[in-house]
Amino acid sequence: MRKTHCRDIVVIAASAGGVSALQTLCAGLPDDLGAAIFIVQHVSPSARSMLPAILGRTSSLPVLHPADGEAIRPGHIYVAPPDRHLLVKRGHMLVRKGPKENRTRPAADPLFRSAAVAYGSRVVGLVLTGTLDDGTAGLLAVKRCGGIAAVQDPDDAAWPDMPRHAMQKVAVDYRLPLDRLADLVTRLTLEPAGPQPPIPADIELEAHIAEQEMISMTEETSNNSMSGRPALITCPDCGGAMMEVRDGPLLRFRCHIGHAYSPATLAEAQGEAFEQALGMALRTHHERVRLFERMAENAMAHGHHNAAAKWTAAAGEAQSHADLLRAVLSNQSPAAAIAPEAD
């Protein structure tokens, strides 16, 4: 007789405002929870993460950063360490320095996607407070593989972007305020998992890309066979060519190395790169002004009045260019440059 599994894999995404939200959620989980909890909270890659200790103060469950290859144990909370993706495989976890997604590592989408491939309908995906839209593509993968999709009510979130983006692109099963999510997770983990649909090949491929350490990317993985078309855009991380990837209602971008972007995060990265380029150009024009003024002074000191006049004019032209660039920079904001995501 075939064994019926419960929903015993819970993946959670949080960003801005997430530490407080995770404390509330974890505090409400029972000490006999029969599921394993996996958390991605965006954190600086150079920071020492204190999140397991912080959550451990309020949770009755053990909270830890897992090691690569560590076995999954029910009733434990696993937190992605800084600068590493946390990935779920059958019976164990991977902790890998794979390509960044949405400019972050750890990122929510690789965790959700890996869990969906490994455990299908046994997965519960939950997106909490945060900015931009990490977690949306991962939550869609959970749904496509038969799992349950839930979000914190955006009206209840300190930063509503992440749950709101997820609701726009994913047919979520539950939308609840934070103080009701622990009870929801507990109830869902006691219910039998639904029927298991076939795992889509594109989700399997993307899950595999996230497993690759940057130093061991194979040619087969780098030149992955994801369906898409050339985007005529270069990757902000590595400068490689990017492909447009259609994922149901989602439009995303991925380069040959594996870096992945939503339109919002790609626009933000391009805005920052544009601002940096303007700043470099402004500095160059300031240096040109100083150089031309010095050349004019030298020409005048030697009685070369025509040459001095030409250098003075060149300095004036460079100064006008610098003034124009300064005006553009004063009005340039990467956030303001982000256009709404295409349908």
Q: Are 262 and 252 in contact (CB under 8 A)?
A: yes
**Do 235 and 77 meet the contact criterion of CB atoms below 8 Å apart?**
no
Q: Which two tokens stand for residue 31?
A: 């000490």
Q: What is the DSSP string of 171-199?
A: --SEEE-GGGHHHHHHHHHHSBP---PPP
Spot the catalytic one: 8, 15, 59, 165: 15
Listed residue (43, 29, 91) closest to 66, CA to CA: 91
CA angle, residues 220, 223, 224, in degrees to nearest 5:
80
The reply to whether 32 belongs to the active site is no
Catalytic residue status for 262: no
Q: Tell me if 275 sits within 8 A of 253, measured CB to CB.
A: no
List 8, 42, 59, 161, catalytic entry: 42
> Catalytic residue at 134?
yes
Q: Are strands 229-234 and 241-247 parallel, antiparallel or unpaired?
A: antiparallel
Catalytic residue among 8, 109, 133, 134: 134
Task: Annotate 228-272 with DSSP letters as a single string.
Answer: -EEEEEE-TTT--EEEEEEETTEEEEEESS--EE-HHHHHHHHHH
Please classify residue 336 by burial: count the beta carbons closer than 10 Å to its beta carbon, then call 0-12 exposed, 13-18 middle and 19+ buried. exposed
User: Token pair for residue 140?
Assistant: 């869609």
215 CB-near residues (< 8 Å, 6+ apart): none
Supply angle C-alpha 40, 132, 166, rounded to 5: 75
Residue 324: how many CA atoms within 13 Å on its side-chain side? 8
Phi, psi (rounded to 5 degrees) for 80: -65, 130
Catalytic residues: 15, 42, 134
